[in-house]
Amino acid sequence: MRPCVVLLFVVSLLTLCEAQGTIETPVFVLKGRDLLLKLHADPPEKFIFVDWKINKTVALVRFRPSGEPNVLHNVSGGLEFPERFSVTLKNLQEADSGVYSAAALTFKGNKPLAEYKVTVQGPVSPVELTVDRVDSNSSESCDLHVTCRTHNSHINSTFRCVDQNCSQERGERPEVTTSGASLQVYLLKSTIICNHSNQVHWTKDFNTAEHLCSSNTAPPFPLVWVTAIILTPVVVVALIVLLCYRRKRIISDSRQIFNTVYEDPQEVASAPPLNQNSTYSVVGLNAQSTQPESIYATVKKPGRSSIN
């Protein structure tokens, strides 16, 4: 029994060593980039060809032992051969994704030399982190309800901040978008991060949780602001009406003063009989002057009568 066990063990080791060159290597490439495919092992002696295939069925290129390539099938952006038995896939597109494998053709059969599982991915779309609601009972604590959104998906989460120490209450699990990317919102120290990523590209939007909590804290008496907003137009209208009323009152008073007619002084129709021993003077208005003038009469002293 022991020789059989040893023989089986040796065969298993040989099979494992030969299979090491066929371990599938996952490779992710950004759309439009190039990819170099190299052999994991050298071809065996006295090989006939080295073939690169797609999905193990479509022959891509065949190398002669001298290293001269013969292209059998092309990819979207073309092929280049910078090294012996190596292939550079140019300007890859999503349609170029697949399993690329290399094998050496010998008289004993095919020997695998390399295998790559190539996935071509495009850039992910931008994301936006928005604060939907802030629940706050004091300036020391608040609950932040946020949304991490991209063009075809979104994820919600809640963060609680107490005395400038924030933690994520819910929404830690990432959301897988329709394009296969991951959409996630999480807390890193005191920063809320909204991340949209795949294996080759990512976009982020972030904000500080403490800043959001302090800047969005609700005022203790929000009714005051509402009242001020409502009363402001009323006060403005009242001031305009008051100014118009005062202006109209001033104009009315001015017109009343301008149209007032005062009584003109009239001449005396008749004068009382004069005393023989008295001399009077009639005081009248000066026709050439609007201001009254006083005219005094010269009184002559009567002469002395002679005594007979």
Residues 247-262 pLDDT 10s: 777 776 666 655 554 4
Q: At residue 95, what is the residue type?
A: A
Per-position DSSP letters for 3-60, written without gaps between them: HHHHHHHHHHHHHHHHHGGG--EEEEEETT--EEE--SSPPPTT--EEEEEETTTEEE
Which residue numbers in the chain have pLDDT < 70? 1-22, 139, 172, 214-228, 252-308
Conformation bin of residue 207: beta by default, left when phi > 0, alpha when psi is -120 to 50 = beta
Domain ranges of the chain: 19-121, 128-215
Which residues have CB under 8 Å from 43's CB, separation 6+? 50, 65, 85, 104, 111, 113
Q: What is the DSSP string of 198-241?
A: -SS-EEEEEEEHHHHHHHTPPPS-HHHHHHHHHHHHHHHHHHHH
Q: Would you state the pLDDT for residue 231?
A: 76
State how far the alpha carbon of 245 is from the alpha carbons of 4, 252, 280, in Å. Answer: 119, 11, 57
The 10s digit of each residue's pLDDT in 31-62 is 999 999 999 999 998 899 999 999 989 999 99
- Report DSSP letters for 178-197, one per residue: TTS-EEEEEEETTEEEEEEE
Lookup: tokens for 71 = 């292209």
**Locate tokens 């008749």: which residue?**
270
* DSSP reduced 3-state for 248: helix
* Predicted pLDDT at 290: 47
Backbone angles phi, psi at 48, to 5 degrees: -100, -50
pLDDT at position 300 is 55
Token code pair at residue 177: 């978008």
Cβ-based neighbour number of residue 136 at 10 Å: 16
pLDDT, residue 95, reads 92
The per-residue pLDDT for 20 is 47
- The answer to whether the CB of 114 falls within 8 A of the CB of 42 is no
Residue 226: the pLDDT is 56
Kindly tell me the sign of the dihedral angle through the C-alpha atoms of 48, 50, 55, 58: negative
- C-alpha span between 170 and 182 (Å, rounded): 17
Q: Which residues on adjacent β-strands are paired with residue 30?
A: 121
Q: What is the pLDDT of residue 163?
A: 82
Looking at residue 173, its pLDDT comes to 78
CA separation (Å) from 246 to 251, 257, 258, 259? 9, 17, 19, 20
Homologous superfamily, domain 19-121: Immunoglobulins (2.60.40.10)
Question: Considering all CA atoms of the chain, what is the largest pairwise distance in Å, rounded to the nearest integer?
Answer: 206
pLDDT tens-digit map of 199-217: 999 999 998 887 777 665 5
Tokens representing 232 are 């402001």
What is residue 260's predicted lDDT score, i.e. its pLDDT? 53
Q: Which of 179-202 are b and which e, b meaning 16 or more Cβ less than 10 Å from the residue's Cβ?
A: eebbbbbbbeeeebbbbbbbebbe
- Residue 162 has what pLDDT? 86
DSSP string, 79-139: EE--STT-EEE-S--GGG-EEEEEEEEETTEEEEEEEEEEEEEPPPPP-EEEEEEEEEEET
